[in-house]
Every structure is written in structure tokens, then in C-alpha cells.
Amino acid sequence: MSDITITAANVIAGSNATRDIGTAGETITAGKIVFLDAATSKWMLSDNNGTGTRTVNGMALNGASLNQPLSVVKSGDVTVGSVLTAGTDYWLSATAGGICPRADLATGMDTIQIGVAKSATVLTIAIQDPGVTL
């Protein structure tokens, strides 16, 4: 399998979504998984095989370039414009900002769950990071 393909134009937060706003520290597309860099206080792409990027704080709701405003969903429902499998759990992948099914996690990757598909198009963001590396 591979990362799910998210249609950036279709990323929409649900009414139960908890949001945050801030500044992009790099170019970010809507639907990408991000973390807030403590050193710069800017949003960066999470990456499961990167150094210092194996953390998740949410999903970008809009696209932004360096130093532009970014809105982030920290929890709750998000329509992702992708074909999901209801009841399937999705995880941070080894692609910067990417989301993959559990089967794609490999040795050396952290087990950071992004959420569970509520339907074929809605992902419920409920980030879980037990601090376990495969």
C-alpha cells in the first residue's frame, strides 16, 4: 500500500474540530500532517523517518508558504477528499506530511496514529503517540 492521496481543495474541518492557527515554517499543502516546532514556533511537516520531525500536532486545513498563516485541526472530524476505509486506523508515514495505513509502518518508524476513518471521506483526528519505535 501507499500513502493516502488527499485532495487539498476538499479538506474541510467538521463542526467538532479543534483548531489552532499559526505561521508556516515551510511550504505546506492542505491535508498534510504537521507539528509545531518549539524552536521557531512555526508549523512544519511531520515525517516518520526524519530527525526532529517525528511528532504530530495536527492536519493543515489550508496551503501556506514560508511565513504565511496556517490553520490546523488538532482533533475532530476532517473531510479529506480521499477514499478511506471506514474503521481503518491511519498513521504518520515516512513521507513528509503523509498518512498511511498501519500495514505500511516499517522497522525504525514511530507508531504515531493520526486517527480513524469515520467514513469513506471523513477522518477523525485523534492523535496517539505512545513513544514506541518499531
Identify which has the larger pLDDT, 58 or 104. 58
pLDDT of residue 2: 83
90-118 confidence digits (pLDDT tens): 999 999 999 999 888 888 888 899 999 99
Burial code (b: 16+ CB inside 10 Å, e: under 16) for 96-130 equals: bbbbbbeebbeeebbbbbbbbbbeebbbbbebeee
Q: What torsion do the CA atoms of 80, 71, 13, 10 make, to the nearest 10 degrees?
A: -40
Identify which has the larger pLDDT, 81 or 42. 42
Q: How confident is the model at residue 81 (pLDDT cuts 50, 70, 90)?
A: confident
Number of H helices, E strands in the chain: 0, 10
Three-point CA angle 90, 54, 100, nearest 5°: 20
- Spatial separation of the C-alpha atoms in residues 94 and 87, rounded to whole Å: 22
Does residue 44 have a pLDDT over 60? yes
Q: Domains in the chain, start-ordered, CATH in brackets? A: 8-128 (2.40.300)
Q: What is the pTM assigned to this prediction?
A: 0.93
